[in-house]
Amino acid sequence: MGVELVPYDPRWSQAYAQEALALHHALGDTVLAIHHVGSTAIPGILAKPIIDILCVVVSLAAVDAGVHRLQSLGYLAKGEGGIVGRRYFQKKNQRGVRSHHGHVFRTGSTLERHLAFRDFLLAHPATAARYSAVKPTALATLPLTRQAYQNWKRALYRLDPSAGDPMVPPAASLIIRARSTEADTCPNRLGGQCRADAGPSASGSSSGKRG
């Protein structure tokens, strides 16, 4: 199946918030935090119209034991889905079109790379715009399959720990590493993350901690 890219839709943020609440109830006490990740979490850039949600949990065993609760929300369990230590879920809408991806990781695993890539693009809009612009080019040069596109994007999630910049692989050479040339235009920064305001909804995440 090919890849569909569409302009940013501001309704994606609300769609994430609604789904995150349902996932929080389904996962129960094992969930620590839920994040909106992927391109639908970055205002203004092209994206597949699929909401990517990353759930941080205490125990993957508890998720496996309670998988029926996620299935009741319409999610199909896909195992690790190619990433060791992940539980991957897909959901379709009423028309049978894929609408959500659920990525569940145990706390302390390799989930940070997903959040770091998102936060870098949120903090650097000019780089996000270049990332958006290069996507159609990638689709024009890659085999038109979801897997090829995912492999191309996955390479971008590798981070240079000394500079915090996306490491640009040859296949994505049109994306320019910008830390040294682009000012940080994030108006509010909390804990290294760019946020429109200090509220939890602006961060694209919801805490699973009660209190």
Which helix (DSSP H) or strand (DSSP E) does residue 36 occupy? strand 31-37
- 11-109+203-207: CATH topology is Beta Polymerase; domain 2 (3.30.460)
Burial of 173 (0-12, 13-18, 19+ CB in 10 A): exposed
Q: What are the residue ranges spanned by the domains of the chain? A: 11-109+203-207, 114-194
- One-letter amino acid identity for 129? A
Who's near 106: CB < 8 A, 6+ residues apart? Answer: 56, 57, 58, 59, 60, 85
For residues 78-107, average pLDDT: 94
- According to the model, what pLDDT value does residue 96 have? 94
Residue 20 has pLDDT above 80, yes or no: yes
Distance, CA of 89 to CA of 67 (rounded, Å): 10
- According to the model, what pLDDT value does residue 108 have? 79
Distance, CA of 196 to CA of 84 (rounded, Å): 33
DSSP 28: G
- According to the model, what pLDDT value does residue 92 have? 96
Residue 123 has pLDDT above 70, yes or no: yes
Distance, CA of 34 to CA of 24 (rounded, Å): 8
Residue 187 has pLDDT above 50, yes or no: no
Confidence category of residue 39, pLDDT binned at 50, 70, 90: very high
Residue 25: count of CB within 10 angstroms of its CB: 11
92 or 148, which is more confident = 92
- According to the model, what pLDDT value does residue 19 have? 97
For residues 178-182, average pLDDT: 31
Over pLDDT 70: what percentage of the chain? 64
Distance, CA of 42 to CA of 190 (rounded, Å): 17
Residue 181 has pLDDT above 80, yes or no: no
Contact 89, 75 (CB under 8 A): yes
What rounded mean pLDDT belongs to the chain?
75
130 or 148, which is more confident = 130
- According to the model, what pLDDT value does residue 80 have? 93
Burial of 192 (0-12, 13-18, 19+ CB in 10 A): exposed
- According to the model, what pLDDT value does residue 60 have? 95
Backbone angles phi, psi at 37, to 5 degrees: -125, 180
